Amino acid sequence: MRRGSPSKGFLVLGEIRSGCLHSATLELTSKARLLADNLGIEVSTLLMYSEIDTEPETLVHYGADRVLCVRDDRLSLFDQEVHSKILCRIIEEIDPEIVLAPATTSGRTVMPAVAAMLGTGLTADCTELEIDLDTGLLLQTRPAIGGNIMATIKTPERRPQMATVRPRTFAIPAPNPDRRGRVTAMTFTDQCFESRIKPLGHERFQEDNVNIQDRDIIVSGGKGMKKEDNFSLLRELAGLLDGGVGASRAAVDNKWIGYSHQVGLSGKVVAPKVYFAVGISGSVQHLAGMQTAELVVAINKDPEAPIFRVADIGLCGDLFDIVPRVIEGIRAREGVSG
């Protein structure tokens, strides 16, 4: 779509997993609200589902002016073709200026298809969004060249401007129960539900502590861990704290732990309450993936390591001496035997 008549606001593609509203939906709705206020336009959030555990009106309290609900039993399992066609139809109907979606598996498959169908651009895996106050354009920032530079991208001609955003990039503010908005039920013809894909079912990935973005405490290890076996030390600490195990790119590249645990620009962006950086020097790429943590505890033998510049608590010394002491202290406090 080329730029034409004035468009009608932001559209956020919400995500629902197994009937649960994903936190990224609240995150992007809130961010869209902040950006939309710069332009004086509305925010709409789209939900496609067969069942949901949250009242759609909840999104109004996080910044949506309207919530578009597509409820159909045929949406119980994710189908990229169906979701893409419905999203495309809605975009054509409400003509949004900007469309945002979380950079999850579903967002990363739906948004490129929709961008191709509409003939517009898409910036994937953004880590920052701003509005250019001079032009009104969306400034879409994302890592490039292996995370070594940050590129800011604009879409001056085509519409809508489209971007996916890594979950946990932005903080979720407290809801405002006094906000008012509207919820609109939408229906579509059977043609929209026709697909060459036949979803067979849904299975939860069983790798240990894989969903680190949902953890309040993360214990991450880097090159200082020296080998794969030593990550058992971090798993023990994380287990005592009901946390998840993360890793730097160096640890993943050395195949000491799977990519799903990687924190940083080329991995996952996390925002836990407590982040342990163990044997991690603190490259710019890694810091960008965990800098929104509420409390950072760094353990490193190099007193000049960059990680200490962002740490709230810094422990300089041999991690293989310090971490066992931390574990021992937690066990003693909690009365847990080894």
Residue 304 dihedral angles phi and psi, to the nearest 5°: -95, 5
Contacts of 338 by beta carbon, 8 Å cutoff, 6+ apart: 328, 331
What is the assigned CATH class of domain 10-193?
A: alpha beta
Collapsing DSSP to helix, strand or coil, 45 comes out as strand
Asked if 147 contacts 266 with a C-beta cutoff of 8 angstroms, the reply is yes
pLDDT digits (tens, 9 = 90+) for 130-186: 999 888 899 999 877 665 678 899 999 899 999 999 888 888 999 999 999 999 999
Q: Which residue in 254, 309, 240 sits closest to 277, CA to CA? A: 309
Query: Which pLDDT does position 19 carry in this prediction?
Result: 87
Q: How far does CA 105 lie from the centroid of its chain?
A: 11
**What pLDDT sits at residue 271?**
85
Q: What percent of the chain has pLDDT over 70?
A: 93
Amino acid at 221: G
Is the peptide bond between 160 and the residue preceding it cis, with omega within 30 degrees of 0? yes
Query: Which among 137, 139, 140 is positioned nearest to 123, based on CA atoms?
Result: 140
8 Å CB contact between 160 and 137: no
Provide the CATH number for the domain formed by 212-334 in this structure. 3.40.50.1220
d(CA 243, CA 218): 5
Which of these ranges, 27-36, 175-184, 217-226, 265-274, has the smallest mean pLDDT? Answer: 265-274
Three-point CA angle 113, 119, 124, nearest 5°: 50
> pLDDT tens digit string along 50-92?
999 889 999 999 999 999 999 999 998 899 999 999 999 999 9
The domains spanning 10-193 and 212-334 adopt the same CATH topology: yes
Q: How far apart are CA 288 and CA 317, in angstroms?
A: 24
* Mode of pairing for the β-strands spanning 98-102 and 161-165: parallel
Interstrand relation of 274-278 and 217-221 (parallel, antiparallel or unpaired): parallel
The C-alpha atoms of residue 323 and residue 37 are separated, in whole angstroms, by 47
Per residue in 97-141, pLDDT tens? 999 999 988 999 999 999 999 999 999 989 899 999 888 899 999
* 81, 83, 84, 90: CA torsion to nearest 10: 140
| CB of 33 closer than 8 Å to CB of 66 | no
- Torsion sign over Cα 130, 133, 138, 140: negative
**Domain regions of the chain by residue span:** 10-193, 212-334
Q: Within 13 Å of residue 248, how many CA atoms lie on the same side as its CB?
A: 21
Indicate if the pLDDT at residue 208 is higher than 70.
Answer: no
Q: Give the residue carrying structure tokens 């290890």.
A: 221
CB 272 within 8 A of CB 295: no
Sole residue written with tokens 């809801």? 175
